[in-house]
Amino acid sequence: MYKITLSRAEEIHEVLKPYVKKSAYKFRGQSDARWGLVPKAGRKTFNNAYDKEIFRHWKRRAIGLLKRNYDRDIDYLAVAQHTGLPTRLLDWSHNPLIAFFFAVNENENIDGAIYAYKPNLEEINFDESFNPFRLARDYIFYQPFSTSNRLDNQFGHFTVHNSPTTPFEDVCQGDLIKIIIPHSLKKDILFNLNQYGINNLSIYPDLEGLAKHLSWFYENFGEWQSAP
């Protein structure tokens, strides 16, 4: 895995320059650079539970709450993932600035990181018979249907993991690039992203996102006041 460490906030433009005209790359941001690329279902809190059983209970109850029904479990899993259920899906984005947001928005005293990866997008038949809990390989990339505004605004993609406890960096094929963001740069990068329209409100286009964005704005009100 090739690693880069930013030395100043403005370097985000330089490190992203190689990807400006390359649409195949996908990006993931994590607010703690020490974390592995592990889906929520494979992390310590849930790795002794069987995520298929958790999903079965979720689906049984969620169907009555959803605005529409789906033919495929993979689409239900995408909804479950974006509403907080521990699944074997790991979020990626087509937009690197989205990844930067997730890398700097939390854990302000800990270095963050974003990952860039160019997947081999093989043709996979995601029909009704596709079983996301039994893959023929370590992982696959999945571009979901539009199931929520959050997913759309985050330009969401997923890796689906055959073994949720196995870090993606241990099994991925091809070059994985890690861009480390020192915690001292997080605040400045977050302000830059907001200027580009990447903030809680654009990431979460709902009442929760609005509340988060306004809370952040007024928590940093002194920063706005001191601007020339």
Mean local confidence (pLDDT), 102-121: 93
Residue 149's SS3 state is helix
- What are the residues whose beta carbons fall under 8 Å from the beta carbon of 43, sequence distance 6 or more? 86
CA distances (Å), origin 179, targets 13, 117, 150: 12, 11, 25
Burial class from Cβ neighbours inside 10 Å (0-12, 13-18, 19+) for residue 24 reads: exposed
* Model pTM score: 0.88
Mean local confidence (pLDDT), 178-192: 96
CA distances (Å), origin 196, targets 100, 117, 120, 144, 192: 12, 23, 30, 25, 7
- What are the residues whose beta carbons fall under 8 Å from the beta carbon of 110, sequence distance 6 or more? 31, 32, 33, 34, 183
* Cβ atoms < 10 Å from Cβ of 114: 29
Q: What is the pLDDT of residue 209?
A: 83
Domain ranges of the chain: 2-225
Per the structure block, which two tokens stand in for 18? 């190689």
Burial class from Cβ neighbours inside 10 Å (0-12, 13-18, 19+) for residue 221 reads: exposed
Q: What is the pLDDT of residue 55?
A: 96
- What are the residues whose beta carbons fall under 8 Å from the beta carbon of 9, sequence distance 6 or more? 185, 188, 189, 192
pLDDT at residue 37 tops 80? yes
The per-residue pLDDT for range 64-86, each reduced to its tens digit, is: 998 888 889 999 999 999 889 99
Q: What is the pLDDT of residue 148?
A: 66
| Distance (Å, whole) CA 163 – CA 177 | 22
